Structure 1
Amino acid sequence: MDGSDNAGKCPVMHGAVTTTGTQVMDWWPKALNLDILHQHDTKTNPLGEFSYREAVKDLDYDALKTDMKALLKDSQDWWPADWGHYGGLMIRLAWHAAGSYRVQDGRGGAGTGNIRFAPLNSWPDNTNLDKARRLLWPLKKKYGNKISWADLIILAGTVAYEDMGLQTFGFSLGRADIWGPEKDIYWGAESEWLAPAENRYTDTNDAATLENPLAAVHMGLIYVNPEGVNGQPDPELTAQHVRETFARMAMNDEETVALTAGGHTVGKCHGNGRAENLGPAPEGAALEEGGLGWINHKTRAVGRDAVTSGIEGAWTTHPTKWDMGYFKLLFGYEWELKKSPAGAWQWEPIDIAEEDKPVDVEDPSIRYNPIMTDADMGMKMDPAYRAICEKFMADPASFDDAFARAWFKLTHRDMGPQERYIGKEAPTEVLIWQDPVPAGSTSYDVAAVKAKIAASGLSVGDMVATAWDSARTFRQSDYRGGANGARIRLAPQKDWEGNEPDRLGRVLAVLEPIAAETGASIADVIVLAGNVGVEQAAKAAGFDIEVPFAPGRGDATDEMTDADSFKWLEPVADGFRNWMKKDYSVQPEEMMLDRAQLMGLTAHEMICLVGGLRVMGTNHGGTAHGVFTDRVGALTNDFFVNLTDMDWKWEPKGRNSYELQDRATGAARFTATRADLVFGSNSVLRAYAEVYAQDDNAEKFVQDFVAAWVKVMNADRFDLA
């Protein structure tokens, strides 16, 4: 009744349905969070077992492009287009979707449609891009499952450039959508948007001191602050930061100039109003805003009165036309610092001719000054950038080609190699940043190759460790790395400390002649050697198995390998082989988790691989840490049996060193690291470890290990998908 103790109390468990309430990680923030290994579980996908990469092959691509071009000029009153053309807005949407990519870990980028979700959908740098996505909804609704949001967003920007006069380099379909935020991406430690740059630099005057793997000057930005570092104009310093941030996106100086100039040839900045009048970003906006953010209920906020970056104006005279106008104005006039109506620093020309001013977005009878950002002025003042600009001005065709190629790279960098491309406009030219690998033979006698490997005298540990090192570089974030190509025998990989160059050279000296004798690729022989090692180890444990194998890997050459780009794939830690290059501020188990996520492994796959690799004797440098067995080289479940055995106690012996000691006598039995003991201390991982420690699951462990092993070996075999 009304007077009961329950009157007025909320009828739901807050923690189960909202973000309020104390969660597990709130109580124990240092606990290892395994959610990132299962963040895109199939249960979150409303399409179930649906294959987008197959469905998109039936897309009426020409019809979609026709509809897209019509949409670009079909202004809607709720968010009218500048100059009657949404091109600038769609290009910015595509750019900011793709521009979050960073080469250090391959994360970010446009390949998953992640700009639809937090935090990217609410970054200050992405203000009003929610409107661009909403404008595209009619096309997504019409073409449905045959076009992903990820593809549609990038296609919108590409078609916009075509409609404005650029001959683009091409376009590939095939980006499959995710259905929730990507929790594995570290965007920075700051707790506020646009926090001072000092939070992520050792020295803001040295752009190279930007914290890895970050690639933006401030939290919530794609690249640099358009007003200058920390909002203080200094074109030469800004140019240094532009160079560093674009390099972290895998772009060289010429590509950087082309992208900056080409990106600013069209569209405009918006700052003709008061930024403080904007409401919360989409993730924090009220329910009645319908998923949109940055709504201004105080003053007019569309057309000429829109506010986005706070800077106000267009870069060129004709912002809906692909031309050389950017260079004409940047180098044709002197520029001075001024403030926009929103109070942002911007550069404006001195004594500009009236006919060189762009017209108002709503009234062509009104003209305004063009603007340049601090980064634009950096193109003029930095000697290297200026030289490239002068080259482009002398040869406009070279600028067109350089930009078209750079735009294609920007929007396709995280799609992986060329064989993943889909569609009639996917270019056939092979580009070095696609990490090309020639096709390998499938006609050789696999059994004969295995026999030669088995008779070679190589140990189980050597065979398995070499195959693992070759394959572990795979990153599902941008589909780079992996065993295909056998780049482990090329620079820079052959010299990586984690690959044990001396041991690697010794093993390759045995395997390469076998490849030459049998007609198999070296890449296939390396993987086959690992399979032979696993089969021998399983047999030693009492199980006769055959590890599945698919021939056809090719061997890359130095000419096919961008060594500078591949340096970012170097492992600095590998918990699977119990190795760290040095001590880091993060714990070994966290680095192991990061490696597992990049490789696309689940938690139980990770634990199977670690347990199996330990007992087979694959530790880096042959260390005994975590080798909880008396039968090294046999694929037993001994790692889990001894890890969970309560006859042992764990005694710390250093920062990352432990002993397993007999509880009764105190005698040391095994040594271990955090990357071993976490499987017994973390409640979730221990639950998996206990499964494999059971007396009735020794065979299950071998089967599960083999399945996870094959997954890693075939991760980059896109021809098998």
Structure 2
Amino acid sequence: MSSNNADETFTGKSNQDWWPERLSLEILDQNGQKSDPLEADFDYAEAFQALDLEEVKSDIEAVLTEPQDWWPADYGHYGPFMIRMAWHSAGTYRAHDGRGGAAGARQRFAPLNSWPDNANLDKARRLLWPVKQKYGRNLSWSDLIVLAGNVAVESMGFQTYGFAGGREDDFDTDKAVNWGPEDELETQDRFEQPGDIEKGLGASVMGLIYVNPEGPDGQPDPEASAKNIRQTFSRMAMNDKQTAALIAGGHTFGKVHGKDDPEEVLGPEPEAAPMENMGLGWQNDAAVEDGEVTTSGIEGPWTQSPINWDMGYVNNLLDYEWEPEKGPGGAWQWTPKSDELADSAPDALADGEQVTPMMLTTDVALKRDPEYREIMETFQENPMEFGIAFAKAWYKLTHRDMGPPERFLGPEVPEETMIWQDPIPDAEYKLVGDEAVAHLKNEILETDITRAQLVKTAWASASTYRDSDKRGGANGARIRLEPQRSWDVNEPEQLEQVLETYERIQAEFNESRDEVQVSLADLVVLGGNAAVEAAAADAGYDIDVPFEPGRTDATAEQTDADSFDALKPEVDGFRNYVPDDISRPAEELLVDKADLLNLTPDEMTALVGGMRTIGATYGDSEYGVLTDQPAVLTNDFFVNLLSMETNWEPSVEEQVFAGYDRDTGDLKWKATRADLIFGSHSRLRSIAEVYAAADGEEKLVEDFVDAWAKVMQADRFDLT
């Protein structure tokens, strides 16, 4: 008999539930699926450019100063609320994998929309809905959220550094982001050692953007808090000065909300709220009835003028002594020891009422930590320096995941290109044409450099691209600069030989031409393309790999070496670079790398199979080179991988397998987990079977070339 109980679930266990150790390709599936309702040819950049940005900002500012009866406005102004929303949207970015950040407006979806640190930000987005509704597809939520933060800061007397549009919206959560190992919100199982957050994660606590404002483990320990702050902000690629400026600048505005214990007065988060709440969570009748909002459980403003830009935060923190106390919401916060600040700040809702400013443990950390304190004292002595530091740090925070300046849209984009934007010089010369390209390819193929070396060098350069934050790629030829030049995965000695050859060809070519020049960045890609074409020709296929000149060569001064080290792959299954001390199985890291390259499962499969037969493996090893004719682009990898003539057995080495002839027992092949996954995983095997079939080789060549060109061109935003 059927049931009408809406709380029942009528779905069975998924494959992932039944076999949790099964390799998931879900993150690659999202790269090949259209999940939005917009037309396939919709051009958001063109739509955004049609906006009157001043009109949009005027509409946002009107929202900020028009309190609604369904949600109170502290001090009659929603500005601080919007700053928190924009900060928490952008602040999920982490440099390790480029994931998170403001692009996509993923704050609208689980889990971010229901994190405790984002409590009540659902109301901030609802306040902005009339603006979003008015401009529709011309203004993405991800741009609107950041712009609202900028307008809020400006409306309270601060001059921002600029704003760039161009962020497109997602219509689902990013399934590739690992937010941590915890099973419960506001827990912390991510510390490998005390105070040392697990590699790759940004925040110190599940469900928070950065660190616990009460202090580590909910204890008011400023020194320990400073350590967590430094680690979490550095993982967002912020240095100490930028970190101090962001905290001090952000906390110049608004207040925290904790007149009650949130566990006692708040309803469930949005994803757990009843249907009649229409997507809103944290039901709190007091917020509507008397304006008493509860969010964090910490209560009070930081300054005496919470909706004005001034030096109040810096002066209060440094000029007064603070001591910990349990606030009315039951959380640790800090109160001034002296009476000088008592009742010196306006109440958020009651005109004429006064309250006492407070500080968080994370604020006092900036005073107790020697390095942070020195920065804060400099800010106090030089208010202009403080303002500039906050403006630039806020701009970096809210634009960090947008990639190169070519993607920045609108009339408020600063003229200056910052080092974190990975600047690349303009080409001040004529680009090579078809005749010159053909000449250069011949020159490259006539050298002593092998096809495998050419392919590996091009791959090493281009595959640093991350679609998550649009960083990396072949443009700039940073493969010849530190730190990439010395990465073990790039085989520095072989790389040196290839680069010296390219530099000689470049010098000879450029000296022989008047205006036409070629960059090393273009030569690196061109060499890989030439090797692929030659490997296909030897297999009987006449193909041309697409090539667009125009890449230029960045300098060391234009390269933030420390930041670029985050792009170094732990594993590169495409080159079969699988060290012994990896954190996760090689096949999982292969899929993760493929996702950062925006590849689909079939593109990943074709690339691995093609690169194996060309012999483009780390150290020129035989692992995965399942062919008797290496350097030829055939389907041999798939044919031999799927053949029942081979019996695979694990080797003593954890990541390695040996393939023995079933009849003779002789060793035939060696492979890694990044190879065998294409025969053992049911979905990947189904793709491999297409390529291994008698009629599959030509399709493999075509698919490999398409996927190869996609990776080589991934960072060419100048062409779109």
Task: Tell me if TM exceeds 0.5.
Answer: yes
1:663 counterpart residue number: 662
Contact 2:32 2:600 in 1 (8 A): no
Aligned-residue identity in percent? 53
Residues 202-233 of structure 1 show CA distances to partners (whole Å, capped at 9, x for unaligned) of: 333xx3x2101111111011111000000001
Looking at structure 2, the residues matched to 223 and 461 of structure 1 have their Cα atoms a distance apart, in angstroms, of 44
Question: Aligned AA for 1:33?
Answer: S
After TM superposition, the structure 1 stretch with the greater mean CA deviation from structure 2, 304-313 or 349-358, is: 349-358
1:8 aligns with 2:7: no
Q: How does 1:76-91 map to 2 (within 5 A)?
A: 76-91=68-83
Does 2:165 align with 1:173?
A: yes
Shift of 1:303: 6.2
Partners of 2:69 and 2:288 within 8 A in 1: no
Q: Aligned pair count?
A: 706
Preserved CA contact (<8 Å) 1:491 1:563: yes
**Paired residue type of 2:689:** E
Residue 687 of structure 1 is matched in structure 2 by 686
1:418 partner letter:
P
1:202 corresponds in structure 2 to 192
User: Structure 1 pair 356/420, CA: closer, same or farther in 2 (3 Å)?
Assistant: farther
Q: CA separation of 1:652/1:466 partners in 2, compared to 1, >3 Å: closer, same or farther?
A: same
Deviation for aligned residue 1:561: 0.4
- Deviation of 1:337 (Å): 1.2
Quick check: 2:302–2:313 contact (8 Å CA) kept in 1? yes
Alignment partner of 1:58 is 2:50: yes
User: Would the aligned equivalents of 1:80 and 1:302 in 2 still touch at CA under 8 Å?
Assistant: no
User: Structure 1 residue 277 and structure 2 residue 265: aligned?
Assistant: yes
Cα distance between partner residues in 2 of 1:126 and 1:43? 28
- Partner residue of 1:617? 615
State the one-letter code of the partner of 1:590.
Answer: E
8 A Cα contact 1:470 1:487, kept in partner: yes
Q: Is the 8 A contact 1:628 1:639 kept in 2?
A: yes
Q: Give the letter aligned to residue 580 of structure 2.
A: K
Q: Which amino acid aligns with 2:471?
A: R
Superposition pairs for residues 341-360 of structure 1, below 5 Å? Answer: 341-353=328-340, 357-360=344-347
Quote the Cα distance in structure 2 between the aligned partners of 1:454 and 1:501: 21
**Contact 2:31 2:599 (C-alpha < 8 Å) held by counterparts:** no
CA contact (8 A) 1:628 1:643 kept: yes
What displacement does 1:304 show? 5.0
Specify the alignment match of 2:513 in structure 1: none
Q: Is the 8 A contact 1:498 1:581 kept in 2?
A: no
Q: Residue type matched to 1:446 in 2?
A: V
Supply the distance in 1 between the matched residues of 2:547 and 2:183 (Cα, whole angstroms). 48
SS in 2 for 1:576: coil
Q: CA deviation at 1:273?
A: 1.6
User: 1:627 — aligned with what?
Assistant: 625
Q: Taking structure 1 as the reference length, what is the TM-score of the superposition?
A: 0.96
Q: Which residue of 1 aligns with 2:707?
A: 708
8 A contact 2:70–2:288 mirrored in 1? no
Q: Which moved more, 1:169-178 or 1:268-277?
A: 268-277
Displacement, 1:512? 1.0
Q: Say whether residues 1:696 and 2:684 are aligned partners.
A: no
Q: Retained in 2: the 8 A contact 1:317–1:356?
A: no
User: How far, CA to CA, are the matches of 1:210 and 1:265 in structure 2?
Assistant: 28
**Separation in 2, partners of 1:174, 1:303:** 40
Distance in 1 (alpha carbons) for counterparts of 2:337 and 2:449: 74
Cα pair distance change 1:376/1:698, threshold 3 Å? same
CA distance in 2 between partners of 1:431 and 1:274 (Å) = 43
The offset of 1:54, in angstroms, is: 2.1
Render the CA deviation track for 1:225-244: whole Å, top value 9, x for unaligned.
Answer: 00000000111111111111
Structure-2 change in CA distance of 1:290 and 1:359 (3 Å):
same
Q: How does 1:285-434 map to 2 (within 5 A)?
A: 285-297=273-285, 299-300=286-287, 304-353=291-340, 357-434=344-421
Give the stretch that moved more between structures: 361-370 or 179-188.
361-370
Structure 2 CA distance for aligned equivalents of residues 620 and 412 of structure 1: 35
Deviations 1:425-480 (A, max 9, x none): 01110110000011235523222211211212221101101000011111011111
Q: CA deviation at 1:358?
A: 1.4
Q: Give the whole-Å Cα distance in 2 for the aligned partners of 1:211 and 1:159.
A: 36
Equivalent positions of 1:470-481 (< 5 A) are: 470-481=461-472
Q: Give the secondary-structure state (helix, strand or coil) at the position aligned to 2:612.
A: helix
1:191 is aligned to 2:183 = yes
Distance 1:623 1:516 in 2: 32
Whole-Å Cα distance in 1 between the matches of residues 141 and 287 of structure 2? 30
Are residue 23 (structure 1) and residue 14 (structure 2) matched? yes
The separation in 1 between residues aligned to 2:117 and 2:99, in whole angstroms, is 18
- Please list every run of at least 4 consecutive aligned residues from structure 1 whose deviation after the TM superposition is greater than 3 angstroms: 7-12, 40-43, 299-304, 352-356
Give the TM-score, by structure 2 length: 0.96
Alpha-carbon distance in structure 2 between the residues aligned to 1:536 and 1:303: 75
Range moving further from structure 2, 172-181 or 301-310: 301-310
Match of 1:135 in 2: 127
What is aligned with 2:507?
Answer: 516
Choose 639-648 or 140-149, whichever is displaced more. 639-648
Contact 1:304 1:360 in 2 (8 A): no
CA deviation vs aligned residue, 1:532-564 (integer Å, no higher than 9, x gap): 100110011111111110000010110000011
Distance 2:34 2:585 in 1: 31
2:85 corresponds to which residue?
93
CA distance, structure 1, for counterparts of residue 12 and residue 340 of structure 2: 61
Displacement of 1:327 after TM fit?
Answer: 1.2
What residue is the counterpart of 2:512 in the other structure?
none
Deviation string for 1:157-192 (max 9, x for gaps)? Answer: 011000001110000000000010111000101001
CA contact (8 A) 1:304 1:362 kept: yes
Secondary structure of residue in 1 paired with 2:695: helix
Match of 2:208? 221
Q: 2:564, 2:408 → 1: CA distance?
A: 21
CA deviations over 1:104-156 (Å, ceiling 9, x no partner): 11111101111100100000100000010111100000000000000000000
Q: CA deviation at 1:383?
A: 1.0
Contact 1:40 1:179 in 2 (8 A): no
Q: Greater CA deviation, 154-163 or 57-66?
A: 57-66
Of residues 555-564 and 326-335 in structure 1, the stretch that sits farther from structure 2 once superposed is 326-335
Q: Which runs of 5+ in 2 are unaligned?
A: 510-516
The letter of the residue matching 1:666 is: G
| Distance (whole Å) between structure 1 residues aligned to residue 33 and residue 451 of structure 2 | 36
Q: In the alignment, which residue of structure 2 is the partner of 1:3?
A: none
- Indicate if the aligned counterparts of 1:303 and 1:361 stay in contact, CA closer than 8 A: no
**Could you tell me which amino acid in structure 2 is paired with residue 282 of structure 1?**
P
**2:228 maps to what in 1?**
241
Structure 1 residues not aligned, in runs of 5+: 1-6
Q: Distance in 2 between matches of 1:170 and 1:548?
A: 37
Q: Which residue in 2 is equivalent to 1:553?
A: 551
Distance 1:442 1:186 in 2: 45
Counterpart CA distance in 1 for 2:415 and 2:124 is 31
- Distance in 2, matches of 1:303 and 1:370, equals 21
SS in 2 for 1:372: coil
Task: Report if the CA contact (8 A) 1:40-1:180 is conserved.
Answer: no
Provide the residue aligned with 2:601 in structure 1.
603
Equivalent residue for 1:4?
none
Give the Cα–Cα distance (whole angstroms) in 1 for the partners of residues 5 and 443 of structure 2: 69
Hey, what does 1:155 align to over in structure 2? 147
Amino acid at match of 1:192: E
Q: CA deviation at 1:360?
A: 0.9
Match of 2:571 in 1: 573
Q: Is the 8 A contact 1:40 1:178 kept in 2?
A: no
Partner of 2:243, secondary structure, is helix
Tell whether the 8 Å contact from 1:497 to 1:581 is kept in structure 2 after alignment: no
Q: Please say if residues 284 and 293 of structure 2, whose CA atoms lie closer than 8 Å, have aligned partners that are also in contact.
A: no
Query: Which residue matches 1:483?
Result: 474
